[in-house]
Amino acid sequence: MEFVTHLLAVYGSLLNFIGIQSLLALSLYITLSAGQLSLGNAAFAGIGGYVSGVLSLHYGLSYILALIAGSASAGVVALVIGLPVLRLRGVFLAMATLAFGEVVRIAAVNLTITGGAQGLVGIPNRTKGWMIYLVLAVVCYVVARLRGSRVGWSFATIREDETAAATLGIHTTYYKTLAFVMGAVIAGLAGGMYAHLTFIISPGEFGFSAAVQLLIYNIVGGTRTWPGPILGTVLLIILPEVLRGIGVAAGALRMAVNGLVLLLVILFLPNGLASLFQGGSRQTPKVAPLPREEA
């Protein structure tokens, strides 16, 4: 027991960070599971963080209500931009969401209520570690049960071939928007919890690098099953700490390891590290709800 307390004291903030980042990675996973490459999820986290932070800091709203408001705002924004943006495919969608993310970041820099470039300072510290992991557990459960449902099948089908999906009666625009909005809601929630964890949030935290990092977590872990993005997140956050532990101090080298892991995974394990754990289960006639790759 003493050991656990000690562990939490030393690594508590790291664990909290892993929890938040896992939530964000899962938010992108949902969007990716419908085949939509979004680089806007960091911005949605920013919207959630700023809206909930401003509401509880300046308007004294309770923590839960502020979180709901932040998450809902991210969802509404996703709904509004999703309809026009989701007509774009692949790389063009990625760039449109990227541009959207930059607009959000620049807005946060220029508005007074968000505290400008210095960031929003003095957000009440309400998020506890267990809350993050409770939310993460719920999100994991929802995502896990989603596959095999009508929504989950529609996502998977659109991801494989959008035109063929439409001729099977799937309202592709509806489901793509749904995936986009669900991702935004979860990202907004994670952003709100993050804001109430760190006292201060600044626009730079929700920029392009953050969006790309979420994509990296997903690719490294694998985007075919929900544990994939969590695996990727945990690995890529812990690895630098381990390296520091064994004496690799240089920031550049740790950064290089991040890039090297990503490169090796995309070249040799295109379905991510999670695919290492699900070998020969493919030949059984029992249907796995979502497609997996076979060696």
Q: Which of residues 151-180 bind another protein (CB under 8 A)?
A: 151, 153-154, 156-157, 160-161, 163-172
Supply the DSSP symbol for 205. G
Q: Which residue bears the tokens 């709800």?
A: 289
Measured in degrees and rounded to the nearest 5, phi and psi for residue 122 equal 90, 25
**Minimal distance, residue 112 CB to another protein, in Å:** 12
- 185: helix, coil or strand? helix
Backbone angles phi, psi at 49, to 5 degrees: -65, -50
* Residue of 24, 216, 236, 273 interacting with another protein (CB under 8 A): 216
The reply to whether 283 sits near another protein by the rule CB under 8 A is yes
Which two three-digit tokens encode residue 28?
């992108």
Among 6, 64, 122, 294, contact with another protein (rule: CB under 8 A): 294
Place of tokens 């990227």: 98
Question: CA-CA distance, 193 to 217, in Å (whole number)?
Answer: 20
CA nearest 37: which of 166, 169, 183? 183
> If we measure between CA atoms, which residue out of 18, 46, 45 comes closest to residue 31?
45
Structural element, H or E, at residue 201: strand 200-201
Q: Which of 246, 249, 250, 295 binds another protein (CB under 8 A)?
A: 250
Residue of the chain from 267, 279, 280, 295 that contacts another protein (CB under 8 A) = 267
Beta carbon of residue 8, minimum distance to another protein (angstroms, whole number): 31
From 253, 258, 169, select the one nearest 213 (Cα to Cα). 258
Taking the complex as a whole, the smallest distance from the CB of residue 39 to another protein amounts, in Å, to 10
Q: Is 262 in the site for another protein (CB under 8 A)?
A: yes
Site string for another protein, 75-104 (x = CB under 8 A): ---------xx--x-xxx-xxx-xxx-xx-
Q: What type of residue is 220?
A: V
Task: Tell which one of 14, 64, 260, 276 touches another protein (CB under 8 A).
Answer: 260
Q: Which is nearer to another protein, 36 or 73 (CB)?
A: 36
Minimum distance of another protein from residue 274's CB (angstroms): 15
From residue 109 to residue 148, the character string flagging contacts with another protein as x (rule: CB under 8 A) and all else as - is xx------------------------------xx--xx-x
